[in-house]
Amino acid sequence: RVSRLRLAGYELVDQVDLFTARPYFEQRRHFGSRLLLADGYLYITVGDRGNRDLAQSLETHNGKVIRLHEDGTTPADNPFVDKPGARPEIWTYGHRNPHGIARHPHNGAIWIAEHGPQGGDEVNVLSAGNNYGWPLITYGEEYGGGKIGQGTHGAGLQQPLVYWQPSIGAGNIAFYTGDHYADWQDSLLVAGLRLARISRLELDGDGLGRETRLLADLKLRIRDIQVGPDGLVYALAGGSRLIRLQ
C-alpha cells in the first residue's frame, strides 16, 4: 500500500491511502516498492512477490510499474485503461523485483533497476505498455543453476539497457548531473546490495557507457542512494550507516 501523509510540525497527519496492490500475498519477498514523483505523476514499482508467472498477467499488480496521478487517481491515457480484465493502473509489466527508479535528467524518461534471479540484474528504460520479459526472458538462471524461460530474447519483449553477471543486487538509482565530483558529468549511480558497492555508469546520449565501482572496500550492502540539496551523494548502507561522498 502507498499512503500520503501531511507533515504538520513534528507530526504526520491526514493519512490518505493512494494505492493498494492486488491481490494480497503472504510471501515476504520481492516487494519492489520504490516511489517516484515526476511531471505530476506517481510511479510505483511492484515486485512479483515470488509469483513469477503473474508478472505477465495484466489482471494483477505483481511485477508491474504503476502510474497514477499524485492524488491516486488513474490517468486516462494509461495503456491498459480500456482493456477488459486489466488493472488500469499498470504502466509497464514483466518485471521481477524493481528496487530502483529515477527520471532521466535530460529526456525525462523513467528508468528502473531490478533484481534478476542468479545473475541478470537490469536497468530498463520504461515506455507505456511495454513488456520487459520476466519470467519469459532473463540473463539470469535458477538458484543453483538451470534455465529460466526461453533464454535472453523473445519477440515483443524489451531488452535491458544494461545487465550484470553476476548479480550486484541492484538497489535504488540516482542520476548525477552536478559538478562537485570531477569527471562525473553525467552519471547514473546504482546501489549494490550483493556486491556491496555503488556502480557509477557514464551517460552516453540516451544510453550508458563505462562503469566505475565505488566503496567496494567498505564491504557494506548499499541499499539507497540520493543526491542531496548540497550536490553531494548520500547512500544508506548496512550496519545502520548513512554515507556521504566528499
Active site residues per annotation? 30
- Say whether 53 sits in a helix, a strand or coil: helix
Q: How far apart are CA 232 and CA 71, in angstroms?
A: 31
Cβ pair 75, 67 in contact under 8 A:
yes
Q: How far apart are CA 18 and CA 61, in angstroms?
A: 14
- All three cell numbers of 238, joined, read 548496512
- For residue 36, CA distances in Å to 104, 133, 202 come to 12, 22, 22
Residue type, 209: G
